Structure 1
């Protein structure tokens, strides 16, 4: 099977590529992978160093919004898995244009290239943030899209374009909407790696507002297994929520990270809340569980492993910290 992985040098995409090429997915024993990545600040060739020399792997540096490049790269692949996106909410608030260009225009051009090249299946990696905020209960895939940040609005726009390419042109598009990911190789602007690397250096951790915002946590390995499952067993035109099943307030998460370092609450620096900060996310994963998904990584163990990874790999994250602060 020939798979084009866009955004494959980023946190989640690179984990998926490494998993594919080390044989983690039984259905993809004979797989060839092309990674297309623009290598923005969050795309890192070091994330793919473990597979860079393999004959079944190819890397192309480029932008999914470059239609001419896509016309060269996309043909010959059986599937496209689109991780390529601008993803950090804070950055979208201060500069929304890049999010629209990559997440909306880029996705449309990638869809068109896949259609033109007769690609068999297109998997779009989306986010639970497209639903907005939910006070209680959990979203099913039938909920309306009510995004509240430029980032989530751009991802919702991409989802709707995916739906349109399925309904109008018959392209086999499948969408996954995941909860908050954590794991190794995550760029240190997101809360877990930012707090962990700050604590490694004895620096304060910046907590937004009252810290009562609730997020559902999903290990990157569980997420990537879900993506592969949707590629193998999902249905054309369908959306699949992917949750980790562990909900924590940011206060609770902060407390666990402080405990991991033996640090006190005097290490926490309260900062003004993010504009439009969603209070709570929670997805109902019943639909993807029905085709065989089950999260495997225990959150406590997964978080401990992540803390250990950042402690053991300062050479990976220290060069990035200047941009993440």
Structure 2
């Protein structure tokens, strides 16, 4: 995509999982990128400013200094578990942080071209039909879900009432290399146990989530979608569902990861491969949150109308993520290579 002159880009939450992938992509395309986060960016690829977006004065200061043309607002309390444990802190991040950044952008940007919010499909609440579309009722109930819905509504308010050039994308379950949430999110949590340094351990599935249906999408496709709606003129003022790569129940996803992890390890680490297959998975009691949704699925016709298509299938994305775990933990050496004869042992 030709973006013309490269405007300054600000990414709140840019040290996080999705934010770091987005920052590296935009910097690689020649954009001047400033990451705004509670953490410090680890190298000199981008400019880095440490603030807490719940501090309005700091938000105004950094926006005034950088004067970005594009703001990607990804800073948030990012998991259901953390919101359930600390609802006040989560709501302060997701609602207060969004309000602060919107107001800072409204009052301090001289040529803001787009304010992009990363929202979630959880704003829709429990799925009762075939799929959510962007006009589906918003019936969020949990602490995380309501905080994100409130942020979603604040962005709509600033677009309608104050003319801010806003766009929102409602993401499904994003996975890929570099996700640190090994205690909560199903993909890194499962792989963390399969590739534990001391040897493979059985992945844990909560009993009440075995049949939960979710959409999954690889992180590079999310980055492409964020970039698309940030620079596409027709996306201004609109809300988009993220297009999923695939829909799976929790059990189906874990079984697929176990199979792919076994195949990845078999050529060079037969002991771990055998353990992965022999261990299977462990079913334990419920997660303890009363707000977990049983079924979610998005349709994304509006993204498709912009010409967007996912490039990474679920299987390919899981293979890439497994390869990253293997490299990071020094396990094996030939991800998804096959032994002589072209067949893996059965």
What TM-score do the two structures reach when normalised by structure 2? 0.82
CA contact (8 A) 1:5 1:36 kept: yes
Q: Tell me which residue corresponds to 2:194.
A: 199
Q: 4+ runs of 1 displaced by more than 3 Å?
A: 264-267
* Structure 1 residues 130-178: Cα deviation after superposition (integer angstroms, max 9, x where no partner): 1112144111111121113200110000010111111111111110001
Q: Is residue 21 of structure 2 the alignment partner of residue 15 of structure 1?
A: yes
Moved more, 281-290 or 203-212: 203-212
Q: Is residue 38 of structure 2 the alignment partner of residue 32 of structure 1?
A: no
Give the SS at the match of 1:282.
coil
* Structure 1 residues 4-62: Cα deviation after superposition (integer angstroms, max 9, x where no partner): 10000000000000111112xxxxx4x111100013xxxxx5xx54xx224xx210011
Deviation at residue 300 of structure 1 after TM alignment = 0.8
Q: Distance in 2 between matches of 1:120 and 1:22?
A: 20
Q: Distance in 2 between matches of 1:265 and 1:252?
A: 16
Q: Tell me which residue corresponds to 1:83.
A: 74
CA contact (8 A) 2:95 2:148 kept: yes
Q: Distance in 1 between matches of 2:77 and 2:240?
A: 21
Q: Distance in 1 between matches of 2:235 and 2:255?
A: 41
Q: Distance in 2 between matches of 1:263 and 1:275?
A: 33
CA contact (8 A) 1:180 1:216 kept: yes
Moved more, 71-80 or 173-182: 71-80
Q: Distance in 2 between matches of 1:218 and 1:283?
A: 11
Q: Tell me which residue corresponds to 1:179.
A: 172
Q: Tell me which residue corresponds to 1:94.
A: 85
Give the SS at the match of 1:175.
strand
Deviation at residue 304 of structure 1 after TM alignment = 1.1
Q: Distance in 1 between matches of 2:258 and 2:70?
A: 42
Deviation at residue 272 of structure 1 after TM alignment = 1.5
The correspondence for 1:142, drawn from 124, 129, 135, is 135
Q: Distance in 1 between matches of 2:283 and 2:202?
A: 6
Deviation at residue 246 of structure 1 after TM alignment = 0.4
CA contact (8 A) 2:218 2:245 kept: no
CA contact (8 A) 2:258 2:280 kept: no
Q: Tell me which residue corresponds to 2:48.
A: 59
Moved more, 272-281 or 156-165: 272-281
**Matched residues, number:** 298
Q: Distance in 1 between matches of 2:84 and 2:136?
A: 25
CA contact (8 A) 2:240 2:303 kept: yes
Q: Distance in 2 between matches of 1:195 and 1:67?
A: 38
RMSD of the TM alignment (CA)?
Answer: 1.6
Q: Distance in 2 between matches of 1:276 and 1:68?
A: 34
Q: Distance in 1 between matches of 2:107 and 2:292?
A: 39
Q: Tell me which residue corresponds to 1:252.
A: 252
Q: Distance in 1 between matches of 2:126 and 2:322?
A: 29
* Structure 1 residues 69-123: Cα deviation after superposition (integer angstroms, max 9, x where no partner): 1122112211110010101111211211111101001100100000002333100
Unmatched 5+ residue regions in structure 2? 1-6, 263-275, 331-346
What TM-score do the two structures reach when normalised by structure 1? 0.88
Structure 1 pair 277–264 and aligned structure 2 pair: CA distance change class (3 A): farther
Q: Distance in 2 between matches of 1:265 and 1:248?
A: 21
Deviation at residue 265 of structure 1 after TM alignment = 5.8
The correspondence for 2:304, drawn from 252, 273, 289, is 289
CA contact (8 A) 1:206 1:271 kept: no
Deviation at residue 266 of structure 1 after TM alignment = 4.6
Structure having the higher Rg: 2
Moved more, 132-141 or 261-270: 261-270
